[in-house]
């Protein structure tokens, strides 16, 4: 029965989601080209607030728990498990004060209204997963930008999304590069649960009636221990908050 109900709700959801992307594409262009970074950032935040709340049309909602006062006067490395594309809007909206930027696959850099524009112009980088050298150069680029301007870099060290909620082993190279090149950063571990259920049936229909949670763990300062120890601790914290459930 739930899957049957999901069909009409998904159609309404995709219409609202797509409409927001189309509306905000020219808004982003105007903000970026006429008013600069701050205006463009605000337009992206409002867009992602809307995208996040489109989930309400599916009877789903986001709970973002952040019991810590995150420093805004230093760069950040946001480390999270990855379950779906719907991980992105809550991070952009709820962590907007620390300017989240993304390491994204190059395929997302074109063809998607609003999303592609923001990835190309908002401070994120696009990497070619088949070209490790290019990927590292882009990670070096974003780490230098974040270190200089007190921005945050979001990295999903699993490499790909978990379609069942079960966390994958961290791939360390990209995270190690960020830590080594951002000596003043705070590392912010996040555990995401139930985001994968939005696509439990595939792209259509969407999963309905889900409580999607984001739990912030205590930040750790780069330099407080060795790089390997930092990665071990961060991975342990992320895993501790992930419930490996496939139902």
For residue 203, how far is the Cα from the chain centroid?
A: 19
pLDDT at 165: 85
Q: How confident is the model at residue 226 (pLDDT cuts 50, 70, 90)?
A: very high
- Alpha carbon distance, N-terminus to C-terminus of the chain: 16
Return the domain boundaries, the chain. 2-240
pLDDT in tens, 119-153: 999 999 999 988 989 999 999 999 999 999 999 99
pLDDT at 245: 55
Q: How confident is the model at residue 244 (pLDDT cuts 50, 70, 90)?
A: low
pLDDT in tens, 86-108: 999 999 999 999 999 999 999 99
pLDDT at 64: 96
- Tell me which long-range contacts 165-171 makes (C-beta under 8 A, separation of at least 24): 165/83, 165/193, 165/194, 165/196, 165/197, 165/242, 165/243, 165/244, 165/245, 165/246, 166/244, 166/246, 167/81, 167/238, 167/239, 167/242, 167/244, 170/231, 170/235
pLDDT in tens, 30-56: 999 999 999 999 999 999 999 999 999
If you search the block for the tokens 């991070």, which residue do you land on?
91
- C-beta of residue 31 within 8 angstroms of C-beta of residue 40: yes
pLDDT at 166: 87
């Amino acid at each position: 029965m739930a899957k049957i109900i999901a069909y009409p709700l998904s159609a309404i959801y995709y219409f609202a989601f797509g409409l927001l992307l189309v509306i905000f594409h020219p808004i982003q262009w105007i903000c970026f080209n006429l008013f600069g970074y701050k205006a463009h950032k605000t337009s992206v935040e409002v867009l992602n607030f809307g995208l996040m709340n489109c989930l309400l049309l599916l009877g789903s909602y986001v709970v973002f728990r952040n019991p810590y006062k995150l420093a805004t006067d230093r760069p950040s490395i946001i480390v999270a498990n990855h379950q779906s594309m719907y991980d992105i809007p809550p991070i952009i909206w709820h962590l907007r004060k620390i300017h989240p930027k993304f390491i994204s696959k190059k395929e997302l850099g074109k063809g998607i209204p609003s999303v592609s524009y923001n990835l190309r112009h908002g401070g994120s980088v696009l990497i070619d997963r088949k070209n490790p050298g290019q990927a590292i150069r882009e990670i070096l680029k974003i780490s230098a930008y974040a270190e200089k301007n007190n921005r945050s870099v979001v990295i999903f060290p699993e490499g790909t999304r978990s379609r069942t909620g079960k966390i994958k082993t961290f791939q360390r190279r990209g995270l190690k590069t960020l830590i080594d090149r951002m000596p003043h950063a705070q590392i912010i571990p996040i555990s995401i649960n139930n985001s994968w259920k939005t696509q439990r049936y595939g792209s259509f229909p969407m999963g309905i009636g889900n409580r999607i949670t984001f739990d912030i763990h205590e930040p750790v300062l780069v330099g407080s221990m060795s790089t390997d120890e930092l990665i071990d601790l961060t991975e342990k914290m992320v895993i501790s908050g992930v419930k490996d459930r496939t139902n």
